[in-house]
Amino acid sequence: MHDLGSRRSHRSRRLVPPSELESELRAELPGAMASGGMGAFLWDVRSGGVFMHPGALALFGLTPEEFDGDVLTLARRVVPREMSGLRRAVVGPGGRRSGLSFHFRACCPPRREHRWAHAQVQVIRDGTGAAGKVVGVLRDASGELQGAVDQATADTVRRSHSDVVQATTAALADALTSEDVFSSLTAEGTLGAVGAAGLALTTFAEDSGHLLVTKGLPRHLFRDFETTDIQDALPTAQAVRTQHPLFVRRQDVAARYPALWPHIERTEITSIAVTPLVAQGHPTGALTVLYEGRTSFTTLDRDLLLATGAAVAQSLQRARLYDQEHAVAVGLQRAMLPAHIPQVDGLATAVHYQPSSNSQEVGGDWYDVVPLPDGGTGLVVGDVEGHDIDASAVMGQLRTALRAYASEGHPPSAVLARASSYLAELDTERLATCVYVTVAVGTGETLTARAGHPAPFVRYADGRVAQLDADGGLPLGMQDPAGSVPFPTTRHRLRPRETLLLCTDGLLESRGRSIDTGIRRVRDALRAGPAEPAALARHIVGAVADSRAQEDDVALLLATLTP
């Protein structure tokens, strides 16, 4: 049996004359058609000869004058990977007559265009079941199948774009601040998802209706455009001004945006897409995406950028509200803290307060440095339970009362006892923790009393770090049922160049780590930090606290005995 697609020489076979095959075809299909895009054919399997009406030949890009009547000529014009399927369909085993219906793609010169065709055939077999002749009709199916292929491709692209929008939205969902939004957008996963070489986020400058601030892009190339006016002839300004997206090709930049062209000219950027950002009906900025290699945008590409821009706009609006609320909360908290820390000869001090990452929470953490009547200095760090306005208000009252008791010269145990009674008498159910240390600068002697608060840390002159073994009492506001001394005092001597660290538990523990881990991290940071107290405070907070995921406020106070 002749093998469809074989590469034997044409001269090794005797083809049945076309006239004979045409006569057989007319006998098999009396009404055989030969119209454009459709035509009947008859193939003698044994010899390899084929007769085809012009409509069938046209599907292979052939005319009757060009066709030599050999099935191999047709086989070479079928997409190679479909040949095996066609061979099995036509020459496989079957009954005396078997009907087949299938699609295949023809590859037509000179441009090697692919054309979908449909075959409706009858395979005529001999007594052994071998295929002798194949007769049937071919028709052009490009329109119907290409439409289905285009639709499937479009559906795939839409699903891919939907995945991109969902991934971008998920990344933005964790963004708390405007800086977080920018970081999420410029992450490698986001840039790769939209196929971008660079990305920038443009927003309105604070307290300005016409200045735009842009973050992102290759800063060394575009630093001139970090602050621009909304009337400038730039793509971002135009998108914000008109509230219409822009898609600009590289070759159009020089004519449309001459100020931008010198910066684009030395890059590999081939196109720019700018999507205006709108939240609650008000323009908030623009999202700019730079591409390398892409020069055109389909409707689906544009839809993807618009959907991404909508997600960014909502996230940016939420982040701005967060920033505003956070600023109010932090401002209120800082207003409750001492306006300044007194300078003490022989004792270098530094304080640091860092609010939690929750914009709506106002904490009750505080610190204070109090000059004492005997020439010593009182160091205080405390924390009122809760994170709300009430906690901050109670903190302000308690700080003032404790400062007054310390200024009267009472010893640490008495100061905390009086402060505890004061808190219990307030019209509140809040409790508070506190650590109070007095330092005699001349001798270095310290007295420490604790009310449910972490003990101070000390960094010795030789670099060792330890947490003081200081006895403690109940939190402020609780009554001692045993009637014993509520706040025992621990004595310690601080030597020159040694440093005390008082801090709230926000520095030591969080949801993601145990207090033992937190203590170890604080000790390591204190050991490795610089000598100067203010720099040491920044170092400790930077090494230990995570401002983006920080669940509690942090207040710390450092005091170093100077020579």
CB count in 10 Å sphere of residue 200: 25
DSSP string, 472-491: EEPPBT---TT-S-SS-EEE
H or E segment and range at residue 72: helix 71-75
**pLDDT tier, 123 (very low <50, low <70, confident <90, very high otherwise):** confident
Mean pLDDT of all residues belonging to the chain: 79
Furthest-apart CA pair in the chain: how many Å?
129
The mean-pLDDT minimum among 3-7, 37-41, 450-454 falls in 3-7
Q: How far is Cα of residue 356 from the mean position of the Cα atoms in its chain?
A: 22
b/e 510-537 (16+ beta carbons within 10 angstroms → b): beeeeeeebbebbbebbeebeeebeebb
Is pLDDT at 223 greater than 50 in this prediction? yes
CB count in 10 Å sphere of residue 192: 10
Q: According to the model, what pLDDT value does residue 153 have?
A: 47
Burial (CB < 10 A; 0-12, 13-18, 19+), residue 195, is: middle
Q: What is the 8-class DSSP label of residue 125?
A: E
Q: According to the model, what pLDDT value does residue 161 have?
A: 44
Paired with 30 in beta bridges are none
Q: According to the model, what pLDDT value does residue 390 have?
A: 77
Tokens coding 46 = 């044994």
Cα 23 from Cα 30, distance rounded (Å): 10
**pLDDT tier, 323 (very low <50, low <70, confident <90, very high otherwise):** low
Q: The whole model's pTM is what?
A: 0.50
Is pLDDT at 349 greater than 90 in this prediction? yes
Q: Which domains does the chain have, with CATH numbers?
A: 10-140 (3.30.450.20), 155-328 (3.30.450.40), 338-561 (3.60.40.10)
φ, ψ (nearest 5 deg) of residue 113? -75, 140
Q: According to the model, what pLDDT value does residue 9 have?
A: 44
Q: What is the CA radius of gyration of the chain?
A: 41
H or E segment and range at residue 108: strand 97-108
Pairs from 515-522 (Cβ < 8 Å, separation ≥ 24): 518/544, 519/467, 522/457
Q: According to the model, what pLDDT value does residue 313 have?
A: 74
For 209, the 3-state DSSP assignment is: coil
The closest of 158, 60, 169, 51 to 114, measured between CA atoms, is 60
φ, ψ (nearest 5 deg) of residue 364? -115, 20
Cα 479 from Cα 417, distance rounded (Å): 10
The mean-pLDDT minimum among 304-313, 444-453, 502-511, 525-534 falls in 304-313
Is pLDDT at 437 greater than 90 in this prediction? yes
Q: What is the 8-class DSSP label of residue 10?
A: G
Model pLDDT for residues 388-435, shown as the tens digit of each residue: 777 878 888 899 999 999 999 999 999 999 999 999 888 788 899 999
